[in-house]
Amino acid sequence: MSVKAFELVPAVGRELLMADKALINIECIEFCGKHLYVGTSDCFIYQFLLEESASAKGKVTYSPQKLLHKYLGLKKPVSELRATSALERLIVLCDCTIMVVDMASLEPVTSSGTRIKGVLSFCVNENPVSGDPFCVEIGVILAKRRTVQIYMVYEDRVQMAKEVATPEQPCAVSLDGYFLCLALSTQYIILNYNTGASQDLFPYNSQEKKPIVKRVGREEFLLAAPGGLGMFATAEGISQRAPVKWSENVIGAAVCFPYVVALDDGFVTVHSMLDQQLKQTLSFRDGHILQDFEGKVVLASTKAVYVLVPLPLEKQIQDLLAGHHVEEALTLTEGARRNIPKEKFQVMYRRILQQAGFILFGNLQFLEAKEHFRKGQLDARELISLYPLLLPATTSFTRCHPPLHEFADLNQLAQGDQEKVQQCKRFLISYLREVRGTEGTNGWREDVDTALLKLYAEENHESLLDLLASDNACLLPESAPWLEKHCNFHYYCNRMPLLCYNYFCPSLPVVWKYADWALKKNQEVGVQIFTRRPKEDKQQKQMNPDDVIKYLHKYKQATVLYLEHLVLDKRIQKERFHTHLAVLYLERVLSLISTSHTPAKQVTHAREQFQRLLKESNLYQVHLLLDKVNDTDLLVERATLHGKLEEHDKALYILVHQLKSPSAAEEYCSWASMSQDHTYRQRLFHLLLSLYLSTNVPHSGHTVAAVDLLNRHAEVFDAVSVLRSLPEAWSLQLLRPFFSGALRGSMHARRTAQVALGLARSENLLLHHDRLKYLGGPVFVSEKKGCHLCHNTFSEPDCVCLPGGVPVHMHCAAQKARDSPIKRHCMNRSNHT
């Protein structure tokens, strides 16, 4: 038992009910709003007004006021009461008779048809199917009859709607929609009274123990099962929740999410529906009624009524956390999600996760703590603040209030145990490394990076230089003293140039002065002084790449990295950089090959880098590199360099006859013809085919390679030329894929040409149509007709026609065009001569 979920608060005492009448007992109760109704063994109904109040400390009390009491006149106990607020009626079971009573006056409704006789028990359908707001549906069990009757209760009448037969005599019933959950004499069943379908649940002996059938939600019921189990069952007859283990002698049960409350002959037990564990036990003697009404759980002994008041959920969770019951607190929080507004829940849940993380942190359960911190979006400064002096003096951070944990600092947590201190520091390093690059550190990254630098310096951590070389936000005034104190160099003697570089303007003298120190420490990190420099302002002196390369000459790895930065990242198109990088790649490959026991994967990676540069760059000195690789076994590299010189025959000869790799030869042809036209590509593949078919250098594998080449690249070859060059002894069946592809290619080319020809003819026809459209009618010239410009008559038929069909002499039109550029444009539009 780990949580106090409820408090037992008196509601109505004995003196208000029966005073000194010892033989009178409480038989049933009902709650509606602030009104409590009590049915007694002497056939009375009492109405009380319960005023709820809370003290400053949150303690709830009830002040009862007796309003009415009414004798029903049947001289039998009042067995059951159900309130229907919409009708302002009480449904009462007394002396096996259901009657309807006015809630305000407690007077029975006397109109005809308001009573049902021979009733053993009844229940109200809290998920009604009628849709009438002024009608209440009830399920009724009749004595000595294997039926359940469905009634509609109105303000002034009761009307039967359905009678459902059952296999055995029902003992208890609960109703939800069309579903009846029944306790029969030997078993529980689910019955759909609309369709008639039924589902057996499990056996139960009603003569040994009182059955319990309790609706707990939409189409879900809670049942008392054998073995002291509280079983959940849905309308489909399945259980979606694990059972709770309660007492063998349970006489009543109620649900107040997320708890199941059960009553036996001496105790009230509280189990969680989330993890099925017993959470609380309260002593309660002579109890015989336990019911829940609109969120209130009400208990009654034979003489008094009590309310089980649930403690606020947040207080329950905080009590669990205070007892270090982390998993129970989180389970309870997650289970309450559906009852809390989303935004409020998110705020509460994040805080609880953070608190849980600190509890686990204090127990040195670092992996679990980190996960809770991550999910709870912890402000990392809450954790940093536990470590003395790690937060900068200029930070604006203050710890959360109320506090997330009970620790003053790391010293209190560790209690002098230095091993525990070191574990906590290693955890903080791990945590800060993960969060420093996330959005969660926006606004306070300086605090995080500075704390991480201090930890690195204090622990002489190998990642210190990486942090300094990265784009960090460390505060120099805070960081420098820690570097001076904990690291093996003097402050501002070696100055930590990478740190200065990140905070002051990139001063070239400082970079040149301290770069050597960084490169000696780590070439890969040190070279970032040059490769990760921010963009210089126009007023600042630019860093010359040639000067950097000259400076780096004694650091080969750093030189390679810097040249890669220039050539591959910045794409600088300068021959000397490309050639220098290629030469260094070559030297590295040769060095690895000459070194014994070099892993093959390392050599392969180095060669792939070299080959990639040779293929992608067009700026290096090809002849220089070719001279260097000619006497080596780097055949692919030699072939690539010959290809750069358009010496494809030499390249393919190397790949075919020296490397003996048909796949490399085909790959070479594809690479060398990339971005070239079809003719160029065809020439390369025909050259490779001719090498395979050459009789001067016979090779047993060349025939297979030639066949594979033709079959894989049929679309590239000129089929006629191939047929002429193939040996007569070859089987055409071998080349079936080639011929099929060639035929498809030829047919495709022919049809494409036909389509193009048809389109060209259509376009020509359209243009011819347009030309004829603009020609207009004939122009008549005669000896009697004069020129519009010179007014002389025509002596020959040659003429120029002006716009509007006016003929003029050719020499007149030419003269006019020379005299007027504008008119020249008009006359040139003439269509006829």
Instruction: Quick: pLDDT tens for 2-37.
Output: 678 889 999 998 888 877 777 889 999 999 889 999
What does 380-423 look like in DSSP terms, one character per residue?
HHHHHTTSTT-S-TT------SS-S-S-SSHHHHHTT-HHHHHH
CB neighbour class for 479 (10 Å; exposed up to 12, middle 13-18, buried from 19):
buried
For residue 371, the one-letter residue type is: E
pLDDT score of 805? 73
Helix (H, G, I), strand (E, B) or coil at 543: coil
Please tell me the distance from the alpha carbon of residue 209 to that of residue 400, in angstroms, as a whole number.
Answer: 54
* Backbone phi and psi for residue 521, each to the nearest 5 degrees, phi listed first: -70, -45
Query: What pLDDT is attached to residue 462?
Result: 81
Look-up: residue for tokens 């039924």?
198
In the numeric block, the tokens 């050599």 are attached to 603
Residue of 102, 147, 142, 152 whose CA lies nearest to 122: 142
Report CA-CA distances (Å) from 756 to 203, 493, 677, 769: 85, 79, 20, 20
* Tokens 């070279």 sit on residue: 527
Whole-Å CA distances, 55 to 61, 74, 531, 587: 8, 43, 69, 86
For residue 833, what pLDDT is reported? 36
**Which residue type is seen at 207?**
Q
Cis bond leading into 402, ω under 30°? Answer: yes
Can you list the alpha helix ranges (DSSP code H) found in 210-312? none
Written as one letter, the residue type at 199 is: Q
What whole-number distance in Å separates Cα of residue 706 and Cα of residue 708? 5
- Taking Cα atoms as reference points, which of 68, 65, 114 lies closest to residue 89? 114
Cα dihedral value 103, 104, 106, 110, nearest 10? -80
pLDDT for residue 539: 47
Q: Are 52 and 7 in contact (CB under 8 A)?
A: no
What does the alpha-carbon distance between residue 4 and residue 804 come to, in Å, rounded to a whole number?
109
3-state secondary structure 126-147: CCCCCCCCCCEEEEEEECCCCE
| 33 conformational bin, left if phi > 0, alpha if psi -120 to 50, beta if neither | left
Instruction: List the beta bridge partners of residue 136.
Output: 153
Amino acid at 408: A
User: Positive or negative, the Cα torsion across 591, 594, 596, 602?
Assistant: positive
The pLDDT value given to residue 57: 78
The C-alpha atoms of residue 37 and residue 31 are separated, in whole angstroms, by 6
Do the Cβ atoms of 308 and 295 come closer than 8 Å? no
Q: DSSP labels for 688-710? A: HHHHHH-SSS--TTHHHHHHHHH
Task: State the 10-residue block means of pLDDT for the chain, 833 residues long.
Answer: 82 81 87 91 92 84 91 90 90 92 89 85 91 90 90 90 91 93 92 91 85 90 91 90 90 90 91 88 90 88 91 87 89 84 91 94 93 92 92 90 91 90 93 82 84 89 79 80 67 43 56 77 82 62 85 92 93 94 94 90 94 94 94 93 94 92 92 91 92 67 85 85 83 80 80 90 86 71 86 86 82 82 46 39
- How does pLDDT run across 76-99, given as a tens digit for each residue? 999 999 999 888 999 999 999 999
> Is the peptide bond prior to 778 cis by the omega test (within 30 degrees of 0)?
no
Task: State the pLDDT at residue 695.
Answer: 54
pLDDT digits (tens, 9 = 90+) for 774-830: 666 677 888 888 888 888 888 888 888 887 778 889 989 888 878 765 444 444 444
Q: What pLDDT, on a 0 to 100 scale, did the predictor assign at position 776? A: 64
Under DSSP, the state recorded for 727 is -
Closest CA to 220 of 253, 181, 251, 252: 181
| The token pair that represents 812 in the structure block | 């007149």
The whole-angstrom separation of Cα 387 and Cα 410 is 6
